[in-house]
Structure 1
Amino acid sequence: MRKSSPKLTASEAAKIKALLKETDWNHAQIAAHLGGMNQGRISEVKTGKRFSEVAPCSLQEAMKP
């Protein structure tokens, strides 16, 4: 059986959007910062396939571990 990855939350999506907007980090760096998340989830948030209705949080909030 394949191990499924944890579900992406709206809070994490807000952090992803803030990091994409406010930093020059690539998908791998954002994924690592958020605890080893799949880079594909970062891409899905960026392109609006997931959580398109969620606004970015503050950069200060996004930088918290």
Structure 2
Amino acid sequence: MSKNIFKRTQIKKSSPYRPFFYLIGILFAFSISVTAQEAQLKGKVSDEGIPVPFVNLYLEGTTLGTAT
């Protein structure tokens, strides 16, 4: 007598809304990166009248900063 060693499994159908949720997730990720770039710093960085390249700037007490 032989036994059936294979289990019967049901195949889950994927939700028809899955692509919609992926799209919402991608749009949310892009919106976070866009809002992270709202501040502007303007001015010149110099030492004794000579422009200084590759300077990191930040505003004390905040998280705002940039690099030249």
The TM-score by the shorter chain falls in which range? under 0.3
Structure with larger RCO (C-alpha < 8 A, sep 6+): 1
> Rg: which structure is higher?
2
Structure with the larger helix share: 1
TM-score normalised over the length of structure 1 = 0.27
TM-score normalised over the length of structure 2 = 0.26
Structure with the larger strand share: 2
